[in-house]
Amino acid sequence: MKFLEVKGLSKKFDGQTALDKVSLSLEKGELLCLLGPSGCGKTTLLRIIAGLETADRGEVWLEGREATFLPPARRNFGIVFQSYALFPNMTVRQNVLFGLAQNKTLDRAERERKADEALEMVDLGPHRHKYPNQLSGGQQQRTALARAIAVSPAALLLDEPLSALDAKVRARLRGEICRLQRAMGLSTIMVTHDQEEAITMADRIVVMNNAVVEQIGSPRAIYEQPATPFVAGFIGAMNFYSQAGGLCAVRPEKLEIDRQPRDAESLSARIGWVEFRGASTRVYARLAQDGSEICVDLPTERADQLTIRENDRVYISVAARHVNRYPAAA
């Protein structure tokens, strides 16, 4: 039995379609990322799952029971919002305790123990008597996380939890959230527009665009076999070109450059410019056959070996299994 299932959800706001027949499922203990550009409907989907919004059509099932119209409080989800929504007039500890206070089965001492435990888990022990506005962005984020996990939720819903933070803090918290999520075995849905975040953290990714699901799969599958041109273009760098009435997509690092044609499929090209990127070197080239631009990522070592310069004539080849083919767009 799936932990959570979403079946054919549709939602419109003032005539604008936010979700169009969206279905997905979440396994117990899994971290699922909803990834897509802003306005693709991913936050609306999360809010419907949380019960904060109602769908026009479709169903939400929770542990085998229909939960489409269950109020948020009865779904037992811990939610972390982009803005954290901490109670500004309460200390870190009071924030966590305020949520726990609703659990009438626990006595005061137990609630306090649980709060402190949650704060320890996110390393906020020393800061527990501070107010939110006295904390750094990362600490605020972890407070929100502690508040959400303290109530022992059945699942965690994270709405762009890291997007308000600077790059370094973000990278560290990414690891922390993953560690916590695995340690607690918490089924988690996280909304993000950051593909790197999704690829590094998720067990599975749901790529969304224009209110529909484009693809659901493991980070590797999404990266290596993107199901649609949108997914191919949205995640990582991608070369697109037309061939035999269809659209082909291939990753820059899968292409090879040689001075001589490698096989009959190798294409002749002229080097545009060369960009040093540290461990790798990106080479922009123009295909001789139709003048389309293509970029190739080479290990810098290999680029040095080739000693390529602007305007050099080279041959580009790729193994057939690395080429993703799509029917031509209508």
What does the per-residue mask of binding to another protein show for 145-174, with x meaning CB under 8 A? --x---x-----------------------
Among 28, 57, 254, 270, binds another protein (CB under 8 A): 57
- Residue 71 near another protein by CB under 8 A: yes
Is the Cβ of residue 84 or residue 234 nearer to another protein in the bound state?
Answer: 84
Instruction: Indicate whether 88 belongs to the interface with another protein (CB under 8 A).
Output: yes
- In Å, the largest CA–CA distance within the chain is 77
Rounded Cα distance between 170 and 229, Å, is 29
Contact 271, 312 (CB under 8 A): yes
Q: Is 67 in the site for another protein (CB under 8 A)?
A: no
- Figure out which of the listed residues 52, 184, 238, 295 binds another protein, where binding follows CB under 8 A: 52
Total interface residues for another protein by CB under 8 A: 41
3 state SS of 67: coil
77 binds another protein (CB under 8 A): yes
Residues 19, 11 contacting (CB under 8 angstroms):
yes
Q: Does 117 participate in binding another protein (rule CB under 8 A)?
A: no
Options 50, 118, 149, 285; binder of another protein; rule CB under 8 A: 50
| CA-CA-CA-CA dihedral for 215, 162, 99, 107, to nearest 10 | 100
Scanning 92-250, the segments in alpha helix (DSSP H) are: 92-100, 108-121, 137-150, 167-184, 195-201, 219-224, 229-234
- Which helix H or strand E contains 13, and what residues bound it? strand 4-13
β-bridge mates for residue 124, sequence order: none
Which of the stretches 117-125, 130-138, 265-273, 293-301 binds another protein when contact is defined by CB under 8 A? 130-138
Closest residue by Cα to residue 158 from 139, 172, 178: 178
DSSP annotation string for 234-272:
HSS--EEEEETTEEEEE-GGG-EEESS--STT-EEEEEE
Counting contacts by CB under 8 A, is residue 75 touching another protein? yes
Q: Of 36, 78, 217, 219, which one interacts with another protein (CB under 8 A)?
A: 78
- Is residue 107 within 8 Å of residue 186, measured between CB atoms? no
Cα–Cα distance for residue pair 11/9, rounded to 1 Å: 7
Q: Confirm or reject binding of residue 83 to another protein (CB under 8 A).
A: yes
Nearer Cβ to another protein (147/193): 147
38 vs 133, which CB is nearer to another protein? 133
Binding status of residue 132 toward another protein by CB under 8 A: yes
Asked if 68 interacts with another protein (CB under 8 A), we say: yes
Cβ-based burial of 91 (10 A; exposed 0-12, middle 13-18, buried ≥19): middle
Which residue in the set 129, 134, 166, 293 belongs to the binding site for another protein (CB under 8 A)? 134
Asked if 41 is part of the footprint of another protein (rule: CB under 8 A), the reply reads no
CB of 7 to another protein, least distance (A): 8
- In contact, 28 and 67? CB cutoff 8 Å: no
Using a 10 angstrom Cβ sphere, with 0-12 exposed, 13-18 middle and 19 or more buried, the burial of residue 143 is buried
Nearer to another protein among residue 15 and residue 245 (C-beta): 15
Give the per-residue contact string, 90-109, with another protein (x = CB under 8 A; - = no): --------xx-xx-------
Give the nearer residue to another protein in terms of CB position, either 71 or 185.
71
Q: Which residue ranges make up the site for another protein (CB under 8 A)?
A: 7-8, 50-52, 54-59, 68-69, 71-75, 77-79, 81-89, 98-99, 101-102, 130-134, 147, 151
